[in-house]
Amino acid sequence: MAVKEYYEDAEPQQNPWVQTPLRESYALSEAAGCRIFLKLENLQPSGSFKSRGIGNYILRRLEELPHGSRPHIFASSGGNAGLAAVHSARALNLLCTVVVPTATAPLMVAKLRAAGAYEVIQYGAAWKDADTYLREHVMPYAQTSTIYCPPFDHPDIWQGNSTLMHEIAAQLPGASAPDVLICSVGGGGLINGICQAMDSLSIGDQTTILAMETAGAESLHAALKAKELITLPKITSQATSLGCARVTSDTLRYAQRENVRSVVLPDAEAAMGCWRLADDERIMVELACGINVALCYDGRLEKALGRPVKPEDKVVVVLCGGSNVTSQMLCAWRNEYAYIEEETEERRRKSDSALGSETGSIKGEDVGMDCVPSEYTKPMVIEGIEVGCVECS
């Protein structure tokens, strides 16, 4: 059956996204020394939180058209935003064409087609080339009304993403605000929505946000250092979903709040987060999400916060999801970055040896806390963790 025929016969659903569970992870809580809650955005129809923002954006554009209009959706993202556009279009009984750069991974092209894209066109070396081709050479020839779908930079996308934070606030025990929220930053659409929701819920002063980026894609961290928007000359991180050379102006403004801290980790630690999550929770996520999980292991959370964690601290990790992952990729990352766990084990052995040679009594709060700085006067790197300075964050 042709895609068009299927769509015409299908019954559309009300919303292109779903409410996802918030689940306490006992394994990650044990590793981190506090209560870790996972917001399972990997269960969205498209496999990532992008279903919220892209879905809301399309709904708002439909409201601007005459009732009964059946526009064709057009997107230019070869990543999770493109998948969200395709899934949202299907949920609303519409068609979606996606133009992606020629460098887009075959896995993602295959997933776009399998999701039901009307057409997937490969053009240009970079996203900007694909986007220009879509706008100038594809959309003008459409024989019906059209909706252009940006990947992240639009207030309606941020509003859709804000529903995630509203759900978290309602789902946490006691319907309370989290002490810490960990989320990754690409272009900034997710953190924009989270901060908007926190403002509306009046909980911004109660929650520390750790804004995560991988080295080689740290456009937000660079902007915070410069105190102005910066365009990265090149994306070198393997976490391609975070590969946005420039964040939105609203993202920089939100990130300069006192409750937001910018944290940069190398790809190796993001990969470690992926395979340890698979081991501990049997959940597969891509590097852009694994970076959030990595903070739960081996004292990284305390270093990122600059303070000890307490057992009663409630920390929400946004499992933003992402489709650029397979079991083979997890195995390859584990082999490539095996030294991460080897180095951690070596530090643990040295620490145990040092403690065993100590004589006399040692106060519990003094042990191991020399690696947690009491204050930050400038951006610094601590065992692979680069943390934004107080003035910037």
Weakest mean pLDDT among 92-106, 276-290, 365-379: 365-379
**In-domain check, residue 393:** no
**In-domain check, residue 237:** yes
* HSE-up (13 A, CA, CB side) for residue 373: 17
Decide if pLDDT at 361 tops 60: no
- Mean pLDDT calculated for residue range 362-379: 35
| Antiparallel, parallel or unpaired: β 95-100 and 72-75 | parallel
Is 187 found in the same domain as 87? no
Of 91, 122, 149, the residue at which a domain comes to its end is: 149
**In-domain check, residue 359:** no
Give the residue, 384 or 191, on which the prediction is more confident: 191
Is 338 found in the same domain as 243? yes
Is 135 found in the same domain as 272? no
Is 38 found in the same domain as 58? no
**In-domain check, residue 118:** yes
- Mean pLDDT calculated for residue range 144-158: 93
Q: How far apart are CA 268 and CA 274, in angstroms?
A: 10
pLDDT digits (tens, 9 = 90+) for 14-50: 789 999 999 999 999 999 999 999 999 999 999 999 9
- Mean pLDDT calculated for residue range 340-355: 72
Element (H, E) at 25: strand 22-25
Q: What is the pLDDT of residue 362?
A: 34
pLDDT digits (tens, 9 = 90+) for 49-71: 999 999 999 999 999 999 888 99
Q: How far apart are CA 161 and CA 165, in angstroms?
A: 8
Of 133, 149, 165, the residue at which a domain comes to its end is: 149
- Mean pLDDT calculated for residue range 197-204: 93
- Mean pLDDT calculated for residue range 379-392: 44
Decide if pLDDT at 363 tops 60: no
Q: Quote the percentage of the chain above a pLDDT of 90.
A: 68
Q: How far apart are CA 82 and CA 58, in angstroms?
A: 13
Is 221 found in the same domain as 177? yes
Decide if pLDDT at 366 tops 70: no
Phi/psi for 186 (5° steps) reads -110, -90
Average per-residue pLDDT in the chain?
Answer: 86
Q: What is the pLDDT of residue 378?
A: 34
Of 149, 181, 205, the residue at which a domain comes to its end is: 149
Is 188 found in the same domain as 280? yes
Is 247 found in the same domain as 143? no
Q: What is the CATH number of the domain that holds 337?
A: 3.40.50.1100
Q: How many domains does the chain have?
A: 2
- Mean pLDDT calculated for residue range 165-182: 94
pLDDT digits (tens, 9 = 90+) for 263-311: 999 999 999 999 999 999 999 999 999 999 999 999 999 999 999 999 9
**In-domain check, residue 199:** yes
Asked if 261 and 209 count as a contact pair (C-beta separation under 8 A), the reply is yes
Compute the residue count for the chain: 393
Q: Quote the percentage of the chain above a pLDDT of 70.
A: 85
Is 310 found in the same domain as 165? yes
pLDDT digits (tens, 9 = 90+) for 206-245: 999 999 999 999 999 999 999 999 999 988 888 888 878 8
Is 279 found in the same domain as 213? yes
Q: How far apart are CA 336 and CA 155, in angstroms?
A: 39
Strand partners, 385: 382
**In-domain check, residue 283:** yes
Q: How far apart are CA 144 and CA 31, in angstroms?
A: 54
* HSE-up (13 A, CA, CB side) for residue 291: 33
Weakest mean pLDDT among 181-190, 299-308, 377-386: 377-386
**In-domain check, residue 101:** yes
Q: What is the pLDDT of residue 392?
A: 40
Decide if pLDDT at 379 tops 50: no
| Antiparallel, parallel or unpaired: β 380-382 and 208-214 | unpaired
Is 284 found in the same domain as 166? yes
pLDDT digits (tens, 9 = 90+) for 328-339: 999 999 999 999
Distance of alpha carbon 260 from the chain centroid? 15
Q: How confident is the model at residue 11 (pLDDT cuts 50, 70, 90)?
A: very low
Q: What is the pLDDT of residue 377?
A: 30
- Please choose, from the candidates 39, 51, 42, 48, the residue with its C-alpha nearest in 3D space to the C-alpha of residue 13: 51
**In-domain check, residue 42:** yes
C-alpha torsion angle, residues 230, 236, 242, 248 (rounded to 10): 10
Decide if pLDDT at 357 tops 90: no
Range of the domain at 226: 22-48+155-353+375-387
Is 133 found in the same domain as 204? no
- Mean pLDDT calculated for residue range 172-199: 94
Q: What is the pLDDT of residue 43?
A: 96
Is 134 found in the same domain as 258? no
